[in-house]
Structure 1
Amino acid sequence: MENYYYLGLLVITLAYPLLQSFERRIQYYKKWYALGPAVFIPAALYIYWDHWFTAIGVWGFNPRYVIGIYLFGLPMEEIMFFFIVPFACVFIYEVMIYFVKRDILRPFAHFFVYLTAPLFFILGTIHIDKLYTAINFLLTGIILLIHFIIFKNKYLGRFLLGYFVTLIPFMLVNGILTGSFLDEPIVIYNDSENLSLRVGTVPIEDSVYLLGLLLLNITIYEKIKSLKTIQSS
């Protein structure tokens, strides 16, 4: 049964938000028209990146924990990751909007951009010899600036609250993927291509990776929703 571990982790990640999508208060299913492109477009970018990094040995996958079906040189489970995780994380974003009525982090949105975007560019440039660190930080910095140019701080406070909450289950799931509670990691990192700084077993870069992926999801998601609102008015 070990070869179902990665797949089982994804099923658990998907189960609750999928079942709750039809809950009368959140009504997540009514927003799937925007969620589809918001998931598929970033997935294409990040799957290409994942394929490239796997091919050149930045990371790899333990055959012990996957079912053995590969697409684009990646385990099927890894392809599914880029659809299931954003689906679940945007659900958390919507839940936080519903239950936390005030945009409590909006006053800090400008400061977050002014601090983190230059920091990501500096760290990415300094560590240009470490592919995961460099491309991850530089790409996330670009996504952050694009979002800020399009929306200013309209959604960024809400996004940050959802992101910080999402980090809790993400670190648990990624902890398992990187070897917590298992004999071996499911995803095997080449530490010469990252900073070798880990939270438990999770490379520090993964939290930035999540930030970039989800912010791209939310940018497209909110843009599509705003266009529909304009067309309806």
Structure 2
Amino acid sequence: MDVKNFTYLLLLLGLLVIPPAFGFKNQLRFFARLKYLLPSIVFSGAIFVLWDLRFTELGIWSFNPEYVTGVYIRNLPLEEWLSFLVIPYLCVFIYEYLNEKLARFEKPNFFLAVSLVLLVIFVLLAWFARQKLYTFFTFFLLSIYFGYTIFRNRFKQHLTKFYLTWLISLVPVLLVNGILTALPVVEYNEIHLLGIRFFSIPVENFFYHFLLLIMNITIYEYLKKQRFF
């Protein structure tokens, strides 16, 4: 096994280095809330893994064996499974960190308006790109879940920190994604994409990440508020 076979795994481990850099006090508070994060990771992870498995079977994307360890569960590399644990963990940490550091910065009405505009855009993209499977399913599922989140109206108070988290998390997550798509570790069938890339990253990946993040944070906040355990 060559060193480059650990590329994907090392990139994920690099993301795990970020939370400890933000201080031990914040870590303790966050660790106490992991019991609310784990169910959200399991729920969202199940959806994304099924999606991942099916798209891999259809050849919409594939994984370059030169950059993974060769450990597979079903048809997915171990690293891909781990990504649905590592990325939500990192992003929810950023979210909680912002809640602490920017507690007074709240613009719920502004971000609700932004959300409504985005929802219309997501619906239109799903409709007009319905022949492109990756684009369609990304924006179709996003429209359903995001629409439910907006109109249920219980998440409005958290929208400010959600959007800030999404924007900030794009830096480390998409740095990793940029490496994954540039080498490439993950290869895409262009027939199923809009064909718009930010450097080497398909534009769909930004909103795939958006959906993963909104799922995890909404479930996390619901469980934290209800305090089932």
Structures share fold, TM-score greater than 0.5: yes
Question: Following TM superposition, by how much is the alpha carbon of 1:112 offset from its aligned partner in structure 2, in angstroms?
Answer: 1.6
Match of 2:202 in 1: 203
Match of 2:217 in 1: 218
Amino acid in the other structure paired with 1:24: K
Match of 1:60 in 2: 62
Amino acid in the other structure paired with 1:51: L
Partner secondary structure for residue 62 of structure 2: strand
1:178-214 superposed Cα distances (whole Å, 9 cap, x missing partner): 01xxxx3000011110111011111111111111110
Match of 1:114 in 2: 116
CA distance in 1, matches of 2:22, 2:226: 22
1:24-63 superposed Cα distances (whole Å, 9 cap, x missing partner): 1352101111011011110000000000001001100000
Match of 1:187 in 2: 186
Partner secondary structure for residue 187 of structure 2: strand
Amino acid in the other structure paired with 2:195: S
Amino acid in the other structure paired with 1:9: L
Amino acid in the other structure paired with 2:176: V
CA distance in 1, matches of 2:206, 2:71: 27
Instruction: Give the stretch that moved more between structures: 109-118 or 41-50.
Output: 109-118
Instruction: Give the stretch that moved more between structures: 129-138 or 94-103.
Output: 94-103
Amino acid in the other structure paired with 1:178: T
Amino acid in the other structure paired with 1:205: E
Partner secondary structure for residue 101 of structure 1: coil
CA distance in 2, matches of 1:178, 1:69: 20
Match of 1:92 in 2: 94
Q: Is the Cα–Cα contact under 8 Å of residues 39 and 83 in structure 1 kept in the other structure?
A: yes
Match of 1:174 in 2: 177
**TM value normalised by structure 1:** 0.92
Match of 2:130 in 1: 128
Question: Following TM superposition, by how much is the alpha carbon of 1:152 offset from its aligned partner in structure 2, in angstroms?
Answer: 4.4
CA distance in 2, matches of 1:39, 1:20: 23
Q: Which runs of no fewer than 5 residues in structure 2 stay unpaired? A: none
Q: Which runs of no fewer than 5 residues in structure 1 stay unpaired? A: none
Instruction: Give the stretch that moved more between structures: 163-172 or 148-157.
Output: 148-157
CA distance in 2, matches of 1:162, 1:122: 25
1:144-168 superposed Cα distances (whole Å, 9 cap, x missing partner): 1122215141111110111111111
Amino acid in the other structure paired with 2:25: R
Question: Following TM superposition, by how much is the alpha carbon of 1:14 offset from its aligned partner in structure 2, in angstroms?
Answer: 1.4
CA distance in 2, matches of 1:159, 1:152: 10
